[in-house]
């Protein structure tokens, strides 16, 4: 499991979220409160949008707290839309290719969660990718593969539908492998315009997700980075959140139900 | 603060101490029980004696738990005398040069503890080094500097005396800087023949130190790596331990008293 | 393209080949003479056999010349059978998972060469792997994939046949993709008992391969590491070499011919 | 010796100089034309000025050509004043602390050159630093030490004088150590407003320095990054260059003469 934070709004220095708050993402890399493990030190990453349609990407394998480059970048870079992540591996070695966010074209994606039994369904899911998307696979995590499945399912046209269909491909593959489908998915992704997030699990323990206004913008995070200042709102499980310049919309996210409806 | 483990005896695979036990040093890098901080993830290192009088040295800046090289080396290398360390920085960046053990000629050294107020006495202590030893300074930690002070004080002729005099140089420098001397020193060091360790603090909280027979040898460690099997003996504060092929000797280690005696 | 050196014989310190000679592998990482590129600085690796049936593995992404760990390991580790490699990437990022040697069980493998048009046949070749072997894929290089193809083709029972059949799978895949098959393959591999090497190309420019007696053993290398001392023998293209404790055997290695024979 | 490039003018993407040109700094890291060594692969660094008075800093120990983070940062970051460096070590290990640029407060500094006999005068020069500056020493290179000497000599008030006096301190220390003073110094440094550079050597082989208009700005570089487009002007040895928004001034830089005048 991991910790992450994302922001959309008026451009701010990344440090205002990543390093400066009392319970910043950097602090969470060492001492998270609501994560399965307090330590999230298997690498980190930033994707931010600025002067180009495609995001910048900075990832490394050190613990976030011990990288002076990260601190300097967060002090210098100002962005109106960014994603930041600290990783606790649930499988997949510690390498830059396995660090979040992942990017593809204009899209960025990061994840806290896990596909249970991934090693048993990985090959089938990889085989199911279209050629164009298969070639973008560079690491070995379940998270990157989920992102690629979403791209395959039409992420750029229909983010909500693509995430739903990707989740269903995972659940189907689990069933076909004789597994009890078990997916935890608390993810954020963006095309440089809107910021989407999803909170979902097949059981009652979907990883936490919070949002709050932040200056002239809005944050969405794994856990609050500042107990004092923020007015944090819990996003309920089975939600799909879209934050745009003009506001936030929360919709149901119910892959299994969608599938049941389809089957009936 | 840090965690470390050292062994002298019949040659064993390093993994028997570093990676295999239930509460191995690798586990302690993530979840130490008796350390100030449970996380010791600011790099790690191994020094081992084998086919040469000088030790081999392997250090890197990743958390010990996420380095596949470390795991492989511990599976392959067999040694009758080695030191292993996982670091939690109290100052000094995360770089290989700041990772323990430090080596110089045949000597290796690793440390758990801290010189309080180090930034205020660092320059004076560095200036006090002899030319030959000054040039061996490659990092910026208080620990490496303590090792160099010991070398300057005749480590190879008189380990106990050198450690005592080095501690006194630190305490003197603190006093001259107008500080209340505060030193925590739980260290291990070796010349490839005997294995020495010291447990000392100027207050009542000297970092823990334990020893136990282990197969046809003996371990000395920051904290037990195996609750079940071992018969761990606590080394009391203000002790200097020397482990050799023919047994273990524990002597008092009382830098301040030595100095008082000298002064009177 | 890359540079590599391998040794089988009486145990020697790795440094005798890797770091000490006038034109050692370390020197070749900076200034190779017979390689396509003089610089081979996209990582390095060692696999060595010692106290266990499985090899030890040490790989990192720095240039070989700038890694103090590598120097220390080569000074300390003594082995009667080892493979060492410095990498010049022809594709695939600089990551530990893409550094040679690759290992699987008792086998180790390293390569200098290239599968031309790899990006167009990669997916088909990966799909053709058996499930057991597919899961061992951890990087993205053509070299690792060739090793996995060999394992799939029965490497442990029949090294010569497995290498031949693996090469044919590559050539077939190229043809099916409408490419002119082009393969350069100068590789070494071992199961901890014998040391095999192959020199092959579909054109007239098979990457060089040399062998020489070395002390009480034998080396096989990309290019001589010592112009003065050694009596280097060139291995001709289309050769398969097997070095064992009792001598060296050189056989033809002719994948395309084997296939023609089969087809007729 | 190393390669570097600096720019002052209207804000541009860093990639326009660092990665995009036909003979960009990245290409020079692998294949420099006018450097002592074609390979400059012992780390790299960027310092850039943007939203704050202090520069951002990104340094790492990989060869510049193999770092995907560097590529992405250069694509995203736009700056009107930046310094970029690829390192070929002449001493001092490969660590981030030894990579250029070095920064202190608002100042950044990078260097191509060498203090000959540095190991014999290093201690004396370090001892001569003021306390405030001594504590900023974090690596072990002659280059960082030269920067600290400049700060000690009043860099912020008088860049030309500070560089002259720092060079003289080095030459004096060499003489006192019984060495024939030998200094090669082709450096760039900035306070975020003006961009200074110096070309100097005690012999006839001062490392090269070129300048050219570049879009709505000006570059100053170790060697031209684009043979076709640029109209490169050679800066003669013993020159001190200051580039500001309103133009470039070239003055003599003659440490030894200044000293002779002083002595007479």
DSSP secondary structure letters along B77-133: -EEEEEEEEE---SSS-S-GGGSSPEEETTEEEEEEEEETTHHHHHHHHHHTS-HHH
What is the gyration radius of the CA atoms in chain C, in angstroms? 17
- B-chain CB neighbours of C69 within 8 Å are 57-60
B171-175, B228-232, C225-229: which is most confident: B171-175
Residue B196, pLDDT score: 98
Give the model confidence (pLDDT) of C21-74 as tens digits: 999 999 999 999 998 889 999 999 999 999 899 999 999 999 999 999 999 999
Q: With an 8 Å Cβ cutoff, is B69 touching chain C?
A: yes
Residue C97 CA to residue C107 CA, distance in Å, equals: 16
Task: Give the 3-state secondary structure of residue C109.
Answer: strand
Residue A264, pLDDT score: 47
Least confident of C161-165, C257-261, D127-131: C257-261
Q: How far is A62 from chain B (nearest CA, A)?
A: 6
Q: What is the mean pLDDT of chain C?
A: 94
- Active-site residue among B2, B74, B99, B219? B2
Residue C107 CA to residue C188 CA, distance in Å, equals: 11
Task: Give the 3-state secondary structure of residue D131.
Answer: helix
Residue C90, pLDDT score: 81
Taking each helix axis from N to C end, the angle separating A118-127 and A142-152, rounded to the nearest 10 degrees, works out to 30
- B-chain CB neighbours of D97 within 8 Å are 93, 95, 97
* Interface contacts (A, B; CB < 8 Å): 32
Residue D264, pLDDT score: 47
Which of B95, B135, B140 lies at the smallest CB-CB distance from D119? Answer: B135
Partner chains of C (3+ C-beta pairs under 8 Å): A, B, D
Report whether pLDDT(C19) > 90. Answer: yes
What are the φ/ψ torsions at residue A12 (nearest 5 degrees)? -130, 160
Closest CA to B230 of B23, B10, B8: B23
Q: With a threshold of 0.85, tell me whether the complex ipTM lies above it.
A: yes
Residue C154 CA to residue A156 CA, distance in Å, equals: 44
Q: With an 8 Å Cβ cutoff, is A48 touching chain D?
A: yes
Residue B21, pLDDT score: 94
Which residues pair with residue D248 across a beta bridge? D243
Q: With an 8 Å Cβ cutoff, is B237 touching chain C?
A: no
What are the φ/ψ torsions at residue D56 (nearest 5 degrees)? -80, 155
Q: How far is A43 from chain B (nearest CA, A)?
A: 9
Residue A163 CA to residue A147 CA, distance in Å, equals: 9
- Virtual torsion, Cα D143, D146, D150, D151, nearest 10 deg: 70
Q: Is the C-alpha dihedral spanning A68, A72, A73, A78 positive or negative? A: positive
Q: What tokens appear for C111 in the block? A: 């390569």
Taking each helix axis from N to C end, the angle separating A159-176 and A118-127, rounded to the nearest 10 degrees, works out to 120
pLDDT band at residue B264 using 50, 70 and 90 as cut-offs: very low
Residue C264, pLDDT score: 47
Give D110 or C259, the one with higher predicted confidence.
D110
Give the model confidence (pLDDT) of B81-122 as tens digits: 999 999 998 877 889 999 999 999 999 999 999 999 999 999
Q: What is the mean pLDDT of chain B?
A: 94
* Interface contacts (B, C; CB < 8 Å): 51
Give the model confidence (pLDDT) of C136-167 as tens digits: 998 999 999 999 999 999 999 999 999 999 99
Q: What tokens appear for A255 in the block? A: 């892959």
Best mutation target among A69, A102, A103, A106 (most D Cβ atoms within 10 Å) is A69
Report whether pLDDT(C113) > 50. Answer: yes
- B-chain CB neighbours of D131 within 8 Å are 123
- C-chain CB neighbours of B56 within 8 Å are 72-73, 75-77
- Domain boundaries along the sequence of chain B: 3-263
Which of A52, A55, A72 lies at the smallest CB-CB distance from D58? Answer: A72
Residue C190, pLDDT score: 98
**Inter-residue contact A98 to A141 (CB < 8 Å):** yes
Which of A123, A131, A135 lies at the smallest CB-CB distance from C134? Answer: A123
Give the model confidence (pLDDT) of D24-40 as tens digits: 999 999 999 998 889 99
Residue A156 CA to residue A153 CA, distance in Å, equals: 9
What are the φ/ψ torsions at residue B149 (nearest 5 degrees)? -60, -40
Which of D123, D134, D138 lies at the smallest CB-CB distance from B131? Answer: D123
Residue D193, pLDDT score: 97
Residue B249 CA to residue B254 CA, distance in Å, equals: 16
Residue C257, pLDDT score: 64
**Inter-residue contact D153 to D162 (CB < 8 Å):** yes
Residue B184 CA to residue B201 CA, distance in Å, equals: 4
- Give the A window 3-32 contacts with B, CB below 8 Å: 30
pLDDT band at residue D144 using 50, 70 and 90 as cut-offs: very high
Residue C256, pLDDT score: 76
Q: Do A30 and B39 touch (CB under 8 A)?
A: yes
Closest CA to D60 of C244, C66, A237: C66
Which of C69, C75, C96 lies at the smallest CB-CB distance from B52? Answer: C75
Give the number of other CB atoms < 10 A from CB of residue B53. Answer: 10
pLDDT band at residue B257 using 50, 70 and 90 as cut-offs: low
Best mutation target among D120, D126, D133 (most B Cβ atoms within 10 Å) is D126
pLDDT tens, per residue, chain A with 264 residues: 799 999 999 999 999 999 999 999 999 999 999 988 899 999 999 999 998 999 999 999 999 999 999 999 999 999 999 999 999 998 778 899 999 999 999 999 999 999 999 999 999 999 999 999 999 998 999 999 999 999 999 999 999 999 999 999 999 999 999 999 999 999 999 999 999 999 999 999 999 999 999 999 999 999 999 876 668 999 999 999 999 999 999 999 999 765 555 554
Residue B139 CA to residue B118 CA, distance in Å, equals: 14
User: Is B74 a catalytic site residue?
Assistant: no
Q: Do C68 and D39 touch (CB under 8 A)?
A: no
Give the model confidence (pLDDT) of D205-248 as tens digits: 999 999 999 999 999 999 999 876 668 999 999 999 999 999 99
Residue C198 CA to residue C235 CA, distance in Å, equals: 9
Residue C18 CA to residue C27 CA, distance in Å, equals: 9
Which residues pair with residue A12 across a beta bridge? A79
**Inter-residue contact B101 to B56 (CB < 8 Å):** no
Give C10 or A258, the one with higher predicted confidence.
C10
What is chain A written as a DSSP string?
--EEEEEEEEEEETHHHHTSSTT-HHHHHHH-SSSSSS---S-EEEEE-SSSSSPEEEEESS-GGG-HHHHHHHHH-EEEEEEEEE---SSS-S-GGGSSPEEETTEEEEEEEEETTHHHHHHHHHHTS-HHHHTT--S--HHHHHHHHHHHTTTTT-HHHHHHHHHHHHHHHHHHTT----EEEEEEEE-SS-EEEEEEESSS-PPP-EEEEETTEEEEESS-S-TTT---EEPPSSEEEEEETTEEEEEE--HHHHHHHHH-
What is B222-233 written as a DSSP string?
SS-S-TTT---E
Q: How far is C204 from chain B (nearest CA, A)?
A: 38
CATH of domain D3-263: 3.60.20.10
| Cβ-proximal residues to A179 (8 Å cutoff; 6+ apart), any chain | A116, A117, A120, A121
Residue B152 CA to residue B84 CA, distance in Å, equals: 24
What are the φ/ψ torsions at residue C232 (nearest 5 degrees)? -85, 135
Which of B56, B60, B68 lies at the smallest CB-CB distance from C75? Answer: B56
Partner chains of A (3+ C-beta pairs under 8 Å): B, C, D
Q: How many CA atoms lie within 13 A of D143 on its CB side?
A: 30
| Cβ-proximal residues to C97 (8 Å cutoff; 6+ apart), any chain | A93, A95, A97, C138, C139, C140, C144
Give C90 or B190, the one with higher predicted confidence.
B190
- D-chain CB neighbours of C94 within 8 Å are 62, 66-67
Closest CA to C30 of C61, C66, C54, C60: C66
């Amino acid at each position: 499991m991991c910790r992450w934070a994302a922001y959309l709004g008026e451009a701010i220095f990344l440090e205002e979220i990543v390093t400066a708050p009392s319970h910043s993402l950097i602090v969470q890399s060492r001492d998270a409160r609501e994560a399965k493990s307090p330590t999230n030190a298997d690498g980190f990453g930033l994707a931010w949008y600025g002067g180009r349609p495609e995001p910048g990407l900075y990832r490394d394998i050190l613990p976030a707290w011990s990288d002076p480059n990260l601190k300097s970048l967060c002090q210098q870079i100002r962005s109106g839309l960014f994603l930041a992540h600290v990783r606790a591996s649930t499988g997949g070695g510690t390498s830059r290719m396995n660090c979040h966010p992942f990017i593809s074209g204009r899209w960025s994606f990061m994840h806290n969660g896990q596909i249970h039994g991934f090693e048993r369904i990985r090959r089938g899911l990889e085989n199911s990718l279209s050629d164009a998307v298969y070639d973008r696979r560079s690491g070995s995590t379940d998270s990157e593969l989920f992102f690629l499945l979403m791209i395959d399912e039409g992420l750029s046209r229909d983010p909500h539908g693509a995430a739903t269909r990707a989740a269903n491909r995972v659940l189907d593959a689990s069933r076909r492998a004789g597994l009890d489908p078990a997916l935890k998915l608390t993810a954020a992704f963006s095309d440089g315009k809107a910021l989407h997030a999803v909170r979902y699990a097949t059981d009652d323990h979907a990883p936490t997700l919070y949002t709050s206004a932040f200056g002239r913008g809005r944050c969405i995070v794994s856990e609050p980075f500042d107990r004092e200042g923020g007015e944090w709102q819990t996003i309920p499980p089975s939600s799909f959140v879209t934050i745009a310049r003009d506001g936030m919309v929360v919709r149901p996210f119910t892959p299994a139900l969608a599938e049941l409806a389809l089957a009936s």
